[in-house]
Amino acid sequence: MNFIEELQWRGLLQDMSPGLDEEMTKATIKGYIGFDPTAPSLTIGNLVSIMLLKHLQLAGHKPIVLLGGATGRIGDPSGKDKERSLLDLETLERNIEAQRKQFGLFLDFDGENAAEMVNNYDFYKDMSIFEFLRDIGKHITVNYMLSKDSVKNRIESESGISFTEFSYQLIQGYDFQHLCLKHNTILQMGGADQWGNITTGTELIRKAGGKGYGLTCPLLTRSDGKKFGKSEEGNIWLEGTMTSPYKFYQFWLNISDADLLKMFRIFSLRSRNEIESLEKEHEGNPNQLKRLLAAELTERIHGAEALQGVQKATEIAFNPKLELSFLQSLSQNEWDIISEELDKVSVPKSLLDEGVNIADLLAGKHSSLASKTDVRRAVKGAAIAINTVKIEDENYIVKSELLLHGKYMFLQNGKKNKFVLVVE
């Protein structure tokens, strides 16, 4: 399939300028997407746009990542019901550097059609306000700018729109004109809410005597109509310190069956033949498809070692028939990962070296065992297990010999409450 056909099959095509498909058959083209550095990490919402760049590159064309060192100082009103807070310049620079590394997880920056990164601050740093108004603002009427949905919606809202955000589409439009006329980048892509900003750019290019094209993908929503990419705790980030590899992996395992096939086609880099074969093979087993997608994305973003750790943490958290041999087979590094993902209890090693009554050890250490009475009751009910072995004596003495790798102990209180004891 060519690029356009690939996007259509994957559900990644919303709108495109007439003639783009023909233009792409003539020669290798350059296409870009802009990313404003509003956070120190990209999200899986950004990942939808990154997939456009990835498929562009796989089709033999050249992807450009435009980092919004300038536009990030202003704020895009598209899809926003109120103006966002402006970040200080130091924070923006930190965010840009953090995001640079993440693009390397998806795009190839070496080779014949290597991806490139450009910072749009470089377009404006030596430009005065008078140059901007004369050379750029002169060519787009206010009437044209007011016709855009992103502007109309905000003007009609209670909060209104500042001149700062009103000017955003003109700056994004000039980004496109600059990249097209100076760097022969004829295609701008983005989410469906960017179509107005993209066409402002094609209009500026037209008035300068050039030809630019736009392409958008649908805004990704779940089957219940809610925005995709958020959990109850908020955004799902690509940075492991903001969303842990375990939570990232669990997010994909927990997508609804109704959303699964759409998400698999959008986010997997498997070929069409392989995906259709897997869809057919696991038609009655959506959980297996979820595991395949979760594994593919977790490994790509967090690495093979992290994937192995989160898979074993998932096994511990959800397998009702764990055996001691499985716990003993885990490496210390895997236990390090698991102890960060499951509930954790920390105690001094000296306490276990001396030996401690199980009620004294666990009382108040976990929400399910608030008191010694709770611990004794759980023991009597055969709910407490250490390293999968049931504890039947309420006077049981816990000793350091039970530690795995001399540091960890896996505890259970019933089927739902599982936590790791770590000695300090």
pTM given for the model = 0.86
pLDDT score recorded for residue 414: 93
Where the chain has pLDDT below 50, the residues are none
**Model confidence pLDDT, tens digit, residues 121-137:** 999 899 998 998 888 88
User: Which residue from 288, 299, 282, 406 is spatially nearest to 353, judged by alpha carbons?
Assistant: 406
- Amino acid 83: pLDDT: 64
Q: Which two tokens stand for residue 48?
A: 């939808």
Which class in CATH covers the domain with range 3-217?
alpha beta
Which residues, 6+ apart, have CB-to-CB distance to 226 below 8 Å?
A: none
Q: What is the pLDDT of residue 135?
A: 87
Contact between residue 7 and residue 13 where contact means Cβ atoms under 8 Å apart: yes
* C-alpha span between 323 and 246 (Å, rounded): 21
Extended strands (E) in 201-256 = 213-217, 230-231, 234-235
- According to DSSP, the β-strands at 62-67 and 213-217 are unpaired
Q: Sign of the C-alpha dihedral, residues 294, 295, 300, 301?
A: positive
Nearest to residue 3, comparing CAs of 185, 167, 157, 217? 217
pLDDT of residue 157: 81
Distance CA 241, CA 82 (A): 29
Please tell me what DSSP assigns to residue 88: P
Residues carrying CATH 3.10.290.10, the chain? 324-423
227-237 pLDDT, tens digit per residue, is 787 666 788 99
Place of tokens 């729109």: 161
Q: How far is CA 231 from CA 43, 228, 237, in A?
A: 12, 9, 10
By percentage, how much of the chain surpasses pLDDT 70? 97
Q: What is the pLDDT of residue 340?
A: 86
Q: Residue 79: what pLDDT?
A: 61
φ, ψ (nearest 5 deg) of residue 84: -85, 155
E-strand ranges in 218-364 read 230-231, 234-235, 343-347, 356-357
CATH 1.10.240.10 domain position(s) in the chain: 230-302
- The two tokens of residue 406 are 């001399």
Phi-psi region of 238 (alpha: psi -120 to 50; beta: other; left: phi over 0): alpha
Fold (CATH) for 324-423: 3.10.290
Q: What are phi and psi of 345, to 5 degrees?
A: -120, 130
Q: Tell how strand 213-217 and strand 15-16 pair up.
A: antiparallel
Range list for CATH 3.40.50.620 in the chain? 3-217
In contact, 159 and 18? CB cutoff 8 Å: no
Q: Which CATH class is domain 230-302?
A: mainly alpha
Q: Is residue 193 within 8 Å of 150, Cβ to Cβ?
A: yes
